[in-house]
C-alpha cells in the first residue's frame, strides 16, 4: 500500500545534478561586482522584442560574468597544474593558453543573441581577458542554393541545415590556438550566406559560440565510431529556456516589428510580406512557427537543455526568473 507523508513532514529531495536558484538568490552572488555598462550600451545590445534593462543586467548577467571569470581563472590554474605534470625539462608536452569557449543555445526568438552580446560586452571589461569574440552559427548554414538542392528550405535551422563539419573544425582550430581562423558570413537581409565574405577571428581570450543547435551531440561516423562534436570544445555552456507558448508569442511579435522595419527594405528576402495585409503576413509567421521552429525546438533544441552548464529560465515577460547551475 502506498502511503502519503504526514502533514508537515518535509518531502525527500530527489538527487539532481543542478543547483536551483531564484533570481534574487542568483543576484546576490555578484559580490559587489561593478556594473560596467550604461543604459545606452544595453539598448544597443538588446535584440528586437527583448525587454532587457539595467536591472536585468545587474541581477542576472553581472553575476554570470563574475562566475565565468572565476571559471577562466580556474582553467588557467588547471592548465598550469597539467604543465607541471607534463614537464620533462625540454618543454615537450607543455600546454599553452587556448581560448575559453562558451556555447549559448536556445530557441529562435528566446533572446539567446542578446545574451551572447551581453556576455561579450561584460566579459571584455574584465582585465584578465579583454579579447572576447562572438560567432553565430548562422554563417555555417548551407547556402540557399545548396539548401534547395538538398530539399532543406523547409528545415532551415534544423541540425542538417548546417555544415556541421566546417563549424566544428572552425571552433577546433580556435581552441587549438591557431593564429587566424575564418568563417563564412550570413546576411539576415538576404537570408543567405554572403559570397566571398569571411569573418576573421585572431586568438581571442574568450570565444562565444551562439546558435540553436550548439549543444547537439556528435553524430556517429559512417564506421559507427563516435566523433568529436562542437559541444566537446566548450568550457561552459548556457541554455536560454522558456515555455514554447511564450516563445511563440515573442516570435510573432518580433515578426510583426520586423515587418514594420527591416522587411521594408526592398532587398530583404521577406520584403514580400510588407506587400500583403497584416493578417496574411501574420498567418505566414504562424505557419513558420508551427511547421519549422516549434518542431525544431521540441525535436532538436530543447532536448539539449540538460547538456548545458547553466540554464536561464525566462518568464512570459522575457525576464529571467530562475537559474539552474550544474554542480561540479
The residues, any chain, with a CB within 8 Å of residue 4's CB and separated by 6 or more, are: none
Is 112 among the annotated ligand-binding positions? yes
Under 8 Å between Cβ of 317 and 246 = no
113 is in an annotated binding site: yes
User: DSSP secondary structure string, 31-43?
Assistant: TT------HHHHH
Record the cell numbers describing residue 174, joined without a space.
Answer: 580556435
107 is in an annotated binding site: yes
Helix (H), strand (E), coil (C) string for 240-304: EECCHHHHHHHHHHHHHHHHHCHHHCCCCCCHHHHCCCHHHHHHHHHHHHHHHHHHHHHHHHHHH
Q: Is 106 one of the annotated binding-site residues?
A: yes
Residues 157-179: b if buried by 16+ CB within 10 A, e if exposed: bbeebbbbeebbebbbebbeeee
Cα dihedral 278, 314, 35, 238, rounded to 10, equals -110
Nearest residue to 210 via CA among 170, 252, 239: 239
In 3-state terms the chain splits into helix, strand, coil percentages (rounded to 5) of 45, 20, 35
Span between the terminal Cα atoms of the chain, in Å? 38
Binding-site annotation: residue ranges: 106-113
Binding-site annotation: residue ranges for ATP: 106-113
Amino acid at each position: 500500500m502506498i502511503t502519503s507523508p504526514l502533514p508537515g513532514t518535509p518531502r525527500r529531495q530527489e538527487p539532481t545534478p543542478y543547483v536551483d536558484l531564484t533570481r534574487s538568490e542568483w543576484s546576490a552572488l555578484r559580490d559587489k561586482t561593478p556594473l560596467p555598462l550604461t543604459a545606452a550600451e544595453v539598448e544597443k545590445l538588446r535584440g528586437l522584442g527583448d525587454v532587457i534593462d539595467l536591472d536585468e543586467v545587474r541581477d542576472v548577467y553581472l553575476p554570470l560574468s563574475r562566475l565565468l571569470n572565476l571559471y577562466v581563472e580556474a582553467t588557467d590554474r588547471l592548465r598550469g597544474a597539467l604543465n607541471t605534470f607534463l614537464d620533462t625539462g625540454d618543454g615537450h608536452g607543455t600546454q599553452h593558453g587556448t581560448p575559453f569557449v562558451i556555447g549559448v543555445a536556445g530557441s529562435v526568438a528566446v533572446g539567446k543573441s542578446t545574451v551572447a552580446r551581453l556576455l561579450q560586452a561584460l566579459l571584455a571589461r574584465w582585465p584578465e581577458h579583454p579579447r572576447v569574440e562572438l560567432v553565430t552559427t548562422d554563417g555555417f548554414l548551407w547556402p540557399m542554393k545548396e539548401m534547395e538542392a538538398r530539399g532543406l528550405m523547409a528545415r532551415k535551422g534544423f541540425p542538417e541545415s548546417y555544415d556541421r563539419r566546417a563549424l566544428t573544425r572552425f571552433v577546433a582550430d580556435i581552441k587549438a590556438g591557431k593564429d587566424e581562423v575564418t568563417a563564412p558570413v550570413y546576411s539576415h537581409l538576404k537570408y543567405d550566406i554572403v559570397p566571398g565574405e569571411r569573418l576573421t577571428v585572431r586568438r581571442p581570450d574568450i570565444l562565444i559560440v551562439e546558435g540553436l543547435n550548439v549543444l547537439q551531440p556528435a553524430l556517429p561516423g559512417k564506421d559507427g565510431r563516435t566523433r568529436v562534436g562542437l559541444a566537446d570544445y566548450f568550457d561552459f555552456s548556457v541554455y536560454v529556456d522558456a515555455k514554447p507558448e511564450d516563445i511563440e508569442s515573442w516570435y510573432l511579435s518580433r515578426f510583426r516589428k520586423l515587418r514594420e522595419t527591416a522587411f521594408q527594405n526592398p532587398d530583404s528576402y521577406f520584403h514580400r510580406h510588407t506587400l500583403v495585409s497584416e493578417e496574411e503576413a501574420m498567418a505566414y509567421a504562424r505557419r513558420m512557427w508551427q511547421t519549422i521552429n516549434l518542431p525544431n525546438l521540441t525535436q532538436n533544441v530543447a532536448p539539449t537543455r540538460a547538456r548545458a552548464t547553466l540554464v536561464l529560465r525566462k518568464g512570459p515577460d522575457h525576464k529571467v526568473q530562475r537559474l539552474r547551475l550544474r554542480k561540479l
